[in-house]
Amino acid sequence: MSRTNSHMRRLLRVLGASAIALAAATFSAGQALARPPVVVELYQSQGCSSCPPANANVMALADRPDVLALSFQVTYWDQLGWKDTFASAENTQRQWDYAHGFHHTSVGTPEVVINGRSDVVGVNRGELNRSIRDAGPPTGGPDLALSGGTLSVGAGEAPRGGADIWLVRYDPRVVQVAIKRGENGGRTLPHRNVVHELKRIGSWSGAAQTIQLSAPSEPGWRTAILVQGAHGGPILSALKP
């Protein structure tokens, strides 16, 4: 009987160790899944003949769960023969904010900004993927959660001066646009994850808070959240559907 009891105790210890190891592995996987996505912002124009390769590279990232790929259409090509159907002055200003932060003297397309911290042209897929891998997820920001129309922003140590909370609404569907004039005249170009709404909805100074979000203007649009340093600063945290 004593040998049987001893055997059972050993078996329970083995099973207990296995359970702990499994729980640790599951917790680590959960941590990995909970990490914010790498934010990849493409600045492009339908009137720019250099943009389609970069657009294709960023579109290829759209289904990666660890990446939030967004297309921001800018306006400064509009005067050269074709008015971009998705461009906005707010997108152009956002690119200029990054340019000032990166100490660039001008803006241009295509440009891919990663986590608000670095940029590449984006036409070389290998270079783009390496840049995303090297960047990793945003750091330094709060935990974010979205339930229904309520955004929960966690507590943490905010940067000096705080950070902005941005609401991003984008269309995840592939939209084909026939370009009739300009450098891409005669081509039909695909667009995906085009940003249609970019709105500052609050600030974060380290305290936890909740924010009620309005419904999207269009039912097919998705919602993303960015917590970002002011005036094109680094992205500290992000949330995607």
pLDDT, tens digit, 9 for 90 and up, residues 89-136 = 999 999 999 999 999 999 999 999 999 999 999 999 999 999 999 999
φ, ψ of residue 99 in degrees (nearest 5) = -60, -45
The pairing of beta strand 111-114 with beta strand 150-153: unpaired
Strand locations in 16-162, DSSP E?
A: 38-44, 67-73, 111-114, 118-120, 144-147, 150-153
State pLDDT tens for residues 45-70.
999 999 999 999 999 999 999 999 99
Domain total in the chain: 1
In a domain, 73, yes or no: yes
Residue 1 has pLDDT above 90, yes or no: no
For residue 99, being part of any structural domain is answered with yes
Give the C-alpha distances (Å, rounded to integers) separating 51 from 9, 54, 74, 92, 191.
66, 5, 12, 15, 11
Residue-number span of the structural domain to which 207 is assigned? 37-239
Q: Is residue 1 assigned to a domain?
A: no
* Region 184-196 average pLDDT: 98
Range with the lowest mean pLDDT among 13-27, 179-193, 219-233? Answer: 13-27
Residue from 53, 26, 29, 27 nearest 42 by CA: 53
- Please report whether residue 105 resides in a domain: yes
Position 155 pLDDT exceeds 60? yes
Cβ atoms 115, 134 nearer than 8 A: no
Two tokens, residue 65: 């769960």
Q: What distance in Å separates the CA atoms of residue 87 and residue 91, rounded to the nearest whole number?
A: 7
What is the reported pLDDT for 4?
Answer: 46
For the chain, the average pLDDT equals 89
Instruction: Answer whether residue 87 shows pLDDT above 70.
Output: yes
**Total residues found in the chain within this entry:** 241
Q: Please state the pTM of the whole predicted model.
A: 0.86
Query: What is the pLDDT averaged over residues 136-155?
Result: 97
**16 occurs within a structural domain:** no
Contacts of 185 (CB under 8 A, 6+ apart): 81, 82, 179
Name, in order, each residue with C-beta under 8 angstroms of 65's C-beta and a sequence gap of 6 or more.
33, 37
Confidence of residue 29 (pLDDT cuts 50, 70, 90): very low
Percent of the chain topping pLDDT 70: 86
Residue 10, pLDDT score: 56
On whether residue 8 sits in a domain, the answer given is no
Q: Angle, nearest 10°, between helix axes 125-135 and 51-59?
A: 50
Answer yes or no: are the C-beta atoms of 220 and 173 closer than 8 Å: yes
Please tell me the predicted confidence (pLDDT) of residue 241.
83
Helices and strands per DSSP (H, E), number in the chain: 4, 13
- How much is the average pLDDT of 78-91? 96
Residue 17 has pLDDT above 90, yes or no: no
d(CA 39, CA 112): 10
Q: What is the pLDDT of residue 90?
A: 97
Residue 138, domain member (yes or no):
yes
pLDDT of residue 20: 37
- In single-letter form, the type of residue at position 203 comes to S
